[in-house]
Structure 1
């Protein structure tokens, strides 16, 4: 009989095929305030992640450890890469979505809608057609801790799509606080976290799912509910399983929303991503620290997998 390590909680036998009994949960960086937005840069062999309150984007690599990638980040939160490999981030302070060009300069992709400032863009993904999708809750304007205390100008907390041509449109407008988002491997489904229970216990801690269609999004049946804490950052693997942050760690669901298991983490998890030299490491941002664990599956995002 194989004994699973204490950081793995099995709810379905299929979870055992996604992890390994000899895997360890390793803290690779600590001493931050609120870590978020991990994104793997395999071509540089490094992880970038945000420490929102300190207004820094940090860089971690196996050889060099932690260094500052960008100071004065404007309370940058979620990060991703576009299909050209450029960093795309959400800045609470400037209330915008910004792209880092190859020469290091910054291009603001979106900062207003209908002539009014966005709330505080939170998380972002880029689809294969080059469109930028992002969530816009109000966390960055609720206090001066993760942004600047301000009144919202938008009437709702929206999810947006920005076309490669620069057209910004609302694709969902009925969230209390939309948060993490990710596509299924075939990009036919978009998953979005509802984190409104952070300030209202009556809001269910659910991950909603939407069919991606030519005319926009069509909501499907609710995908899954987080039983401990709330969903924040989410990622899909190449098999279609969804991995979600939670108060007790990372929860793994199959494509039908069945809970397969959990990676238990001693700090509240905000986000996660796949990466590593073999594409089979999960990097987890959790409150003051960053963790790494081996998983037997690779991420759906193309840059999380090693070159053939």
Structure 2
């Protein structure tokens, strides 16, 4: 049996280590539960993973498309090791209804009551519906898992279908500022009205309530992440695949890189350049490790590029991976629609959490 770890460059071994493994954690065939988000929280007894499903028809309906959000509890043995045998998945029904057509997500800090301290939250992208707004929704991790709408429009014009999000942690990008993408997939897939905005990348400062368009000229801006020092923003353009299911090999299936620069004390995106093109499917979710290597979920698994744009290798799973996330100590969780996989790599740490 061939290895799922396929090297294209000798440096791939430095990423995955000498003995990487790939294990199936959860398999569930009722609907594609493992599609997007992948937001990891480290816990004292069990780690947590929050994921969004792909769209599917609500049971009993002929045309209503829904998304469900799940919590995967990653139990640990006494020595701290994770074990697949005790992994469980719980549907968060109330949260799913409160986050209309959920998609990407990221770790977040949010105050759920006036004057209350900030607490751990998931900031979900909601693609919206015919009756509920697309936007950013914060979900409380502890307690009743309250959901609050954070942002739903650009000065009165509704977002199209907010897709993916990242939160800045440095002064360069603006500590606590929220960067997100907004493609037109909801309209193309039949559950959103005609777009009233271009397909763009936005930045929202929740302290100043400042909202800006940061990048345009993209067909379907999708995944977004920062380099480890947040001097570069990576955005995937999945224009190769339209919401109708139509594909066109002449359209972008591309990762673009932008420099984060300061003009008059405010961040701007400059020097857009083609960083990489996916050879299989589209580069969807995207993350960096602490060495600056760039990972993206593609049509045959997760591809890994060097900071210089060289394809180092890929972690192959049949059916591909729309998204994925890093856990801790070299863990990576691959979202494979009806399956959730865990890859154990070498000494890699995701740049988002640094664990």
Q: Is 1:214 matched up with 2:214?
A: no
The CA deviation string for residues 48-72 of structure 1, in whole angstroms up to 9 with x for no partner, is: 1001424211111233511123332
Q: For structure 1, which segment, 125-134 or 41-50, has the greater mean C-alpha deviation from structure 2 after superposition?
A: 41-50
Q: How many Å separate the matches in 2 of 1:33 and 1:85?
A: 27
Q: How many Å separate the matches in 2 of 1:160 and 1:71?
A: 24
Asked whether the equivalents of residues 20 and 294 of structure 1 are also in contact (C-alpha less than 8 Å), the reply is: no
| Equivalent in the alignment of 1:119 | 160
Picking from 228, 233, 237, the partner of 1:185 is 228
| Equivalent in the alignment of 2:72 | 60
Provide runs of 4+ in structure 1 moved above 6 Å.
Answer: none
Q: Which has the larger radius of gyration?
A: 2
| Equivalent in the alignment of 1:249 | 301
Q: For structure 1, which segment, 242-251 or 288-297, has the greater mean C-alpha deviation from structure 2 after superposition?
A: 288-297
Q: How many Å separate the matches in 1 of 2:27 and 2:227?
A: 31
Q: Is 1:141 matched up with 2:193?
A: no
Q: Please state whether the residue corresponding to 1:140 is helix, strand or coil.
A: helix
- What do you get for the CA RMSD once the two structures are aligned? 1.8
Using the TM superposition, give the Cα deviation of residue 30 of structure 1 relative to its aligned residue in structure 2, in angstroms.
2.5
Q: Is 1:229 matched up with 2:287?
A: no
Residues paired across the two proteins, number? 295
| Equivalent in the alignment of 2:120 | 85
Normalising by structure 2, report the TM-score.
0.79
Using the TM superposition, give the Cα deviation of residue 21 of structure 1 relative to its aligned residue in structure 2, in angstroms.
4.6
Picking from 16, 19, 22, the partner of 2:19 is 22
Normalising by structure 1, report the TM-score.
0.90
| Equivalent in the alignment of 1:259 | 311
Q: Is 1:110 matched up with 2:136?
A: no
| Equivalent in the alignment of 2:177 | 131
Using the TM superposition, give the Cα deviation of residue 143 of structure 1 relative to its aligned residue in structure 2, in angstroms.
2.3
| Equivalent in the alignment of 1:162 | 204
Q: Is 1:299 matched up with 2:346?
A: no
Q: How many Å separate the matches in 1 of 2:280 and 2:316?
A: 11
Q: For structure 1, which segment, 68-77 or 179-188, has the greater mean C-alpha deviation from structure 2 after superposition?
A: 68-77
